[in-house]
A and B are shown apart, each in its own frame.
Chain A
Amino acid sequence: MKSIIRNFWSLLTIISTIALIGSANAADPLKVGFVYVGPIGDHGWTYEHDRSRLAIEKAFGSKVKTTYLEKIPEGPDAERAIQQLARTDHDIIFTTSFGFMNPTIKVAKKFPKIKFEHATGFKRAENVSTYSARFYEGRHIIGLIAGKMTKTNTIGYIASFPIPEVVRGINAAYLAAKSVNPAIKFKIVWVNTWFDPGKEADAANALIAQGADILMQHTDSPAAMQVAEKKGIFAFGQASNMKAFGPNAQLTSIINNWAPYCISRVKAVMDGAWKSQDTWDGIGPSMVAISKFSEQIPADVRSMAGKARDAIAAGTLHPFTGPINKQDGSPWLKAEEIAPDGDLAGMNFYVEGVEGALPK
């Protein structure tokens, strides 16, 4: 019995050694790694990042080999996951959640030759770039549409965590809605999660019960869209196109379109032209995409929204253009003043008119 087991183990060892040698040979294509915080099937944040991975495969064919690690929590495991990719000879590694910032920096120090791309963070290094999208530009568009289309003058907003990106989104949507509808009111509910379909649906129901007839969300599941569809009201999709979940309810979706950026960065590595940089792109370079406007939107509103979209893309319109006061009435931007990126990046206040206190 003992010898059988010993033989079995030695057999396994031999097989694994052969397997290892086999895998070491195919080192030709550029290896691209992705670390995801959620499952690729979340139909939101991670789903869109994974689409950019697939776009890379499509664009470069056999010249690249992509790998991903999904469902990596933003805790003690993150650093190992990133390092696992680094030590398996990946040439460029995308770490796609804010909580991977410090682990990415740590691993990057140990692997100076590997390029790292961290999404939504603010720490960079020689071999670490950061990239994020100006989602607030999209929020300006949906704010305009919502302001025009609401009958109850009440917009329900499902928010995740009070980080600058989310606060920026609320402010941008509010200012735009207010500009076309001075009576507008935003009801904001913080669910303290990026992803809990049940809770997001509860929040949507609560907001509708309180009079909201259009929903906006900054959480990742299509739950709120489904609730809107069922209740016969309108909603805006977030992260990915959610039309399948609300064929009548969806007015448009703000889509995180990472593919062009990711492809350009992989190309840069191939060409030896990769440099550390901070990218914060919006509708212009189509990192933020606006899905097709619904037929439910009146033609004049559609054309207004379309014009705003084109103006933002062309750089002639900035969603945060003064005069804007903070919630407490203190001035933030003077007339015609455009918000500096620094202010936007660390935004931790509501603008004047938004009700309620920002959670601390």
Chain B
Amino acid sequence: MIRLEARNQTSRTLLFWSPILAVGITVIAGTIMFALLGKAPIRAIAIIFLEPLGDIFSIAEIVVKATPLILIAVGLSFGFKAGIWNIGAEGQFTIGALSGGSVALALYQIDGAWVLPLMCLAGAVGGMLWAAIPAFLKTRYNANEILVSLMLTYVAVLLLSALVHGPLKDPDGMNFPESRIFHDAATLPILIEGTRAHVGFVTAIVAVAISWLVLSRHIFGYQIKVLGQSQRAARFGGFNEKHVTWICLMISGGLAGLAGLFEAAGPVGQLVPALPVGYGFTAIIVAFLGRLNPLGILLGGFVMALTYIGGESAQIELNLPSAVTGVFQGMLLFFLLGIDVLANYKIRMTQPLSRKLSE
């Protein structure tokens, strides 16, 4: 019989190799799928995985797509390590965009270098306030944060829709449900001229660096690891579980809110009802692809972004339906998540108990 056996220590080698193995298997499975669909399989794989890396526009677009994923996933990784499951980042993202965007609209056509920082602040604070609800209900009333944060996501998306259909609607917009376009002082500076890659990416890199330092060097990083492994041990260790809960939710809420504001003030440039496109949920997957490690998340965010951009290229060049992207992503994620088992467990062929005894 095959059974798993826990490793004393996570295997570093396998931790490194398992994603590559997973990508390899996905390529094989993808080849089969494309062949079944009657498309040149190797060409399709090359278009999805390699072609987007070949020009500056696509790379910039990968950066645009990866920025919110990385920002949110890094924030979430703190809580996930500590066993605090904020799965409502989508809602915090939406509220961040809404509050930061409202600042931009309130200060419409007021110029000043302080406008954008103020918007960022409002976005982050908005996300934190939205995350404060599950934090408060968890620490005060013991309400499950997974469920509260998930419920609040719907409320947030509906709130955005209500406000964009109402008070935030563009007065010159023919009654269409969208806000004014933010003026220049309220729009994020661009990193590479002619593309949409914006300074939000720099923030994401900074967030990755700081998180890496905190998690590996700071006492807080140690605390959340202990809390994640055992609540009782954390209590014996003498640190306050409630504080950790609050801090983790504030970090993830703040970064998700910031990511939302970056989307509104960057690639979109206005508030629209379709602003939340699921980054908050996709980021959860990214966090696990990166194994809750900031550097891994950076990589995971890029891989995820790559499949979106590559999927579009495949639609254009091979006339593949957009559904193929979803199937392909799903397969990649399943293989990545499944193969991770190798890093933490050994596979052993075990013998029946009776034979063990007789030996």
Contacts and interface: CB of A to CB of B under 8 A. Distances in A.
Contacts of B308: 77
B322 A70 contact: yes
Q: Interface of chain B, helix or strand or loop or mixed?
A: helix
B79 interface: no
Interface residues of A, number: 47
Contact of A12 (B42, B266, B323): B42
A70 B315 contact: yes
B45 interface: yes
A215 B262 CA distance: 43
A27 interface: no
B12 to A, nearest CB: 16
Contacts of B178: 99
A192 interface: yes
Given A16-B43, A164-B175, A80 B61 contact: yes
Given A69-B312, A75-B272, A79-B196, 9 more contacts: A5-B24, A13-B50, A20-B54, A67-B319, A70-B315, A76-B277, A161-B165, A161-B177, A192-B161
A162 B169 CA distance: 12
Interface centre among B266, B270, B275 (most CB of A within 10 A): B275
B90 to A, nearest CB: 13
A345 B50 contact: no
Contact of B45 (A12, A67, A70, A102): A12
A198 B323 CA distance: 21
B254 interface: no
B292 interface: no
A161 B268 CA distance: 21
A192 B322 CA distance: 25
A84 B313 contact: yes
A218 to B, nearest CB: 15
B274 A75 contact: yes
Contact of A85 (B177, B266, B316): B316
B88 interface: no
Contact of B46 (A19, A74, A102): A19
A16 B50 contact: yes
- Size category, B interface: 35 or more
Contact of A81 (B165, B174, B312): B312
B175 to A, nearest CB: 4
B42 A15 contact: yes
B321 interface: yes
A71 B308 CA distance: 13
Contacts of B334: none
Interface of A: 5, 8, 12-13, 15-16, 19-20, 23, 33, 39-40, 67-71, 73-77, 79-81, 83-85, 87-88, 98-99, 102, 110, 122, 161-164, 167, 192, 345-348, 359-360
Contacts of A77: 277, 308
Interface centre among B20, B45, B175 (most CB of A within 10 A): B175
Contacts of A20: 51, 54
A110 to B, nearest CB: 7
Contacts of B309: 80
A23 B317 contact: yes
A80 B52 CA distance: 13
B43 A19 contact: yes
Interface in B1-53: 20, 24, 40, 42-43, 45-47, 49-51
A77 B65 CA distance: 9
Contacts of A167: 175
A16 B268 contact: no
Interface string B152-187: 000000000100011000000011111001000000
Contact of B64 (A75, A76, A87): A76
A70 B50 CA distance: 22
A277 to B, nearest CB: 19
A76 B268 contact: yes
A346 B175 contact: yes
A16 B46 contact: yes
Contact of B196 (A23, A80, A161): A80
A84 B65 CA distance: 14
Interface string B208-234: 000000000000000000000000000
B269 interface: yes
B352 interface: no
Given A12-B50, A163-B175, A99 B57 contact: no
Contacts of A73: 274, 277
Closest 4 CB pairs of A and B: A16-B46, A75-B274, A76-B267, A348-B175
A40 B313 CA distance: 18
Contacts of B145: none
A79 B267 contact: yes
A67 B317 CA distance: 8
Contacts of B272: 74-75, 99
22 contacts: A8-B24, A12-B42, A13-B50, A15-B42, A16-B46, A19-B43, A20-B54, A39-B321, A67-B315, A70-B322, A75-B276, A76-B267, A79-B196, A80-B64, A84-B316, A88-B316, A88-B317, A102-B181, A164-B174, A167-B175, A192-B161, A347-B175
B312 A12 contact: no
B55 to A, nearest CB: 8
A302 to B, nearest CB: 35
Given A75-B277, A84-B313, A102 B322 contact: no
B263 interface: yes
Nearest to A1: B17
B194 interface: yes
A46 to B, nearest CB: 11
Contacts of B177: 161, 163
Contacts of B263: 75-76
Contact of B194 (A68, A84, A110): A110
Interface in B261-286: 263, 266-270, 272, 274-277
A247 to B, nearest CB: 29
